[in-house]
Amino acid sequence: MRPVEIKRDVYWVGALDWNIRDFHGYSTPKGTTYNAYLVIDEKITLFDTVKKPFKNDLIECISKIIDPKLIDYLVVNHVEMDHSGSVPDIVELVGPEKVVCSPMGKKALVDHYGRQDWPYHVVETGQSLKLGKKTVSFLETRMLHWPDSMMSYIAEDKLLLSSDGFGQHWATSQRFNDEVDVAELLGHAAKYYANILLLFSPLVQKLIAKVAELGIEIDMIAPDHGLIWRKDPGRIIQAYEKWSRQESSRKALVIYDTMWQATEKMACAIGEGLKEGGLDFKMFNLKFSHRSDIMTEVLDSRALVLGSATINNGMMPAMADLLSYMKGLRPVGKVGAAFGAYGWSGEAVKLISEAMRGIDINLVGEGVRVKFSPKKEDLNRCIELGRQVARAALDLDVSGLGASARS
């Protein structure tokens, strides 16, 4: 890729990864980008690098603007290896005057690369660095989503270099949000939030409040993954504000795994009950649906009804996987129930219910178990469970949790 000027004397110099399909268990069917940014000023400054296999792409992109050896400062906003993987190579090539990072960033860089001898320049929230005509100030964003994370802000351009905030895993030949379909873009951004930042929603709220408190004017947001928010950057800030409150819609998810379709028949009956009870629903068979796509739907769902056949005195492996993944992301403000078919022992429903309690999902009843294939009366019990879940979910409107989950 060629460099792209995003502001006067500020260039995108990153790399595109068209082929990555898994990012720590998060499916990336359309790849991703590793964005880095170069500022040409009295002190030429590179913000972040790229994943190590793409270091030559970064160097080639920079070389189309300047000799990389002319770079004075390297700013490391985030030490995760998809952004810092090329840092040792860049430091060796460039020999920068300063490697700028947060206090935790220095610790993480030393831990990762074992280099105490780099010219570290440690910055904290509110501190700034004069580049010449431009000045960059720093905002620590600890645990969004690593302890070292920070953002960089260039006041003269009203440009926020947002590290892993406001990004998407999506490789495109376009660089800006107004060059692509906005609905698809927001879908990728929602998936990114649901699978990476959901756990840290209270911190997102504090960050947005801090930006408002500091009076930072933002004309453009340039994240480390995906498209740059050139037009109406407030739209993604508003989306983050909504997602961080975990506002839910009148929607339920019925998620299941089945051996011989008995549990699937129960799932369909539960869906019928949910609809009768006034709740829209979506159905996900774990054999065909990836955990990260399901978590994207969880983001604004009011109710989760999880089902599994019993196997080896436990739940199906895909359901255990989903529950483990979901526990790490800690969605809040949900109601739910468990169901499943079994042959002779039937532990799955109990185990799913226990796992849901561990995620603070408010359970409706004890769930429904069916031996072998469900009969009419069993399906009627499933329909009734769907109705009960719908009533409990709609009651959240009265309690206030439906509109905005507790942080």
Q: Of 41, 48, 80, 140, which is the active-site residue?
A: 80
Q: Does the annotation count 217 as an active-site position?
A: no
Is there a domain that residue 404 lies in?
A: no
Question: Can you tell me the distance from the alpha carbon of 302 to that of 343, in angstroms, rounded to the nearest whole number?
Answer: 31
Q: Does the annotation count 145 as an active-site position?
A: yes
Question: Can you tell me the distance from the alpha carbon of 36 to that of 19, in angstroms, rounded to the nearest whole number?
Answer: 19
Averaged pLDDT of the chain: 95
DSSP β-ladder status, 314-315 and 310-311: antiparallel
pLDDT at 396: 82
Is residue 359 very low, low, confident or very high in pLDDT (cuts 50, 70, 90)?
Answer: very high
242 has a pLDDT exceeding 90: yes
Q: Of 11, 34, 73, 192, which is the active-site residue?
A: 192
Tokens of 63: 């070389």
Q: Does the annotation count 82 as an active-site position?
A: yes
Is there a domain that residue 9 lies in?
A: yes
Condensed to tens digits (0 to 9), the pLDDT of residues 47-92 reads: 999 999 999 999 999 999 999 999 999 999 999 999 999 999 999 9
Condensed to tens digits (0 to 9), the pLDDT of residues 257-286 reads: 999 999 999 999 999 999 999 999 999 999
Do 335 and 277 contact (CB within 8 A), yes or no? no
For residue 22, the one-letter residue type is: D
- Shared domain for 134 and 200, answered yes or no, is yes
Condensed to tens digits (0 to 9), the pLDDT of residues 319-336 reads: 999 999 999 999 999 999
pLDDT at 215: 85
Give me the number of domains the chain comprises: 2
- Shared domain for 260 and 166, answered yes or no, is no
Q: Of 11, 34, 140, 145, which is the active-site residue?
A: 145
Q: Which among 198, 219, 244 is the end of a domain? A: 244
133 has a pLDDT exceeding 70: yes
Is there a domain that residue 407 lies in?
A: no
Q: Of 72, 78, 153, 257, which is the active-site residue?
A: 78
Q: Does the annotation count 78 as an active-site position?
A: yes
Is there a domain that residue 311 lies in?
A: yes
- Shared domain for 335 and 208, answered yes or no, is no
CATH, residue 103: 3.60.15.10
- Shared domain for 51 and 177, answered yes or no, is yes
Do 103 and 142 contact (CB within 8 A), yes or no? no
- Shared domain for 273 and 220, answered yes or no, is no
Q: Give the angle subtended at the CA of 227 by the CAs of 223 and 229, to the nearest 5°.
A: 75
- Shared domain for 132 and 49, answered yes or no, is yes
Question: Can you tell me the distance from the alpha carbon of 310 to that of 317, in angstroms, rounded to the nearest whole number?
Answer: 10
Is there a domain that residue 406 lies in?
A: no
Q: Does the annotation count 24 as an active-site position?
A: yes
Q: Of 224, 225, 264, 297, which is the active-site residue?
A: 225
Q: Which among 225, 244, 263 is the end of a domain? A: 244
Q: Of 57, 82, 224, 264, which is the active-site residue?
A: 82
Q: Does the annotation count 342 as an active-site position?
A: no
- Shared domain for 275 and 387, answered yes or no, is yes
Q: Of 5, 22, 24, 184, which is the active-site residue?
A: 24
- Shared domain for 263 and 390, answered yes or no, is yes
Is there a domain that residue 363 lies in?
A: yes
Q: Does the annotation count 192 as an active-site position?
A: yes
Q: Which residue has the tokens 């998060």?
A: 26
- Shared domain for 24 and 123, answered yes or no, is yes
In eight-state DSSP terms, residue 348 is: H
Mean pLDDT along residues 94-121: 97
Do 17 and 31 contact (CB within 8 A), yes or no? yes
Is residue 213 very low, low, confident or very high in pLDDT (cuts 50, 70, 90)?
Answer: confident
Is there a domain that residue 403 lies in?
A: no
* Residue-number span of the structural domain to which 107 is assigned: 4-244
b/e per residue, 23-57, with b = 16+ CB within 10 A?
A: beebebebbbbbbbbbbbbebbbbbbbbbeebbeb
CATH, residue 281: 3.40.50.360
Is there a domain that residue 122 lies in?
A: yes
Is residue 399 very low, low, confident or very high in pLDDT (cuts 50, 70, 90)?
Answer: low
Q: Which helix (H) or strand (E) holds 275?
A: helix 262-276
Q: Of 17, 72, 148, 164, which is the active-site residue?
A: 164
pLDDT at 214: 83
Q: Which among 224, 244, 264 is the end of a domain? A: 244
- Shared domain for 15 and 119, answered yes or no, is yes
